[in-house]
Structures are given as C-alpha cells and as structure tokens.
Amino acid sequence: MCMERYIRLIAGLFVLLSLLLARFHSPYWLLFTAFVGLNLFQSAITRWCLMEDILAKLGVPPCRHGTQGPQGPPAT
C-alpha cells in the first residue's frame, strides 16, 4: 500500500474509533473527530499533512500517480 491509502485508512479508523468512544465513554471524544476532519480540510488546502511526514519517516512509499494499478489498464 502507498502513503495516500494509509492516510485514508488511518483517518477513517480514527473517526470510527472516536465515534465509538463518544457513544460509550464520553461525548468529548467528538472533539477528536472534529480534529481529524479539520486536519483533512487543512491538508487539502495547504497540501501539507503531518501524518504524511510521520509515514515517510517510517518508510512508507509515496503513491505514484499515473501508473497502472494491480488490475492493469482500464478496459475500453
């Protein structure tokens, strides 16, 4: 998996986890959900993402856009 897919996976996991914690522990966990949403919004505008920097330091390869996926070229 490449970096963009990891970022989406981690963000989705954080949102679902914080929603479960808000439901069963404390509604203040919704602030973490808002933080994840604001972080996604900020990264779309500024093109900078802290999670991307963290994953790069862990050795996760960046996505190579424009290359063929595992299924090959699209059918015509």
pTM of the model: 0.77
Query: Which uninterrupted H or E stretch holds 15?
Result: helix 3-24
Q: Where are the domains of the chain?
A: 3-57
Tell me the mean pLDDT in the region 19-48: 96
* Mean of pLDDT over the chain: 89
**Scanning the structure block, which residue is given the tokens 């790069």?**
56
- Say if residue 76's pLDDT is above 90: no
pLDDT in tens, 20-33: 999 999 999 999 99
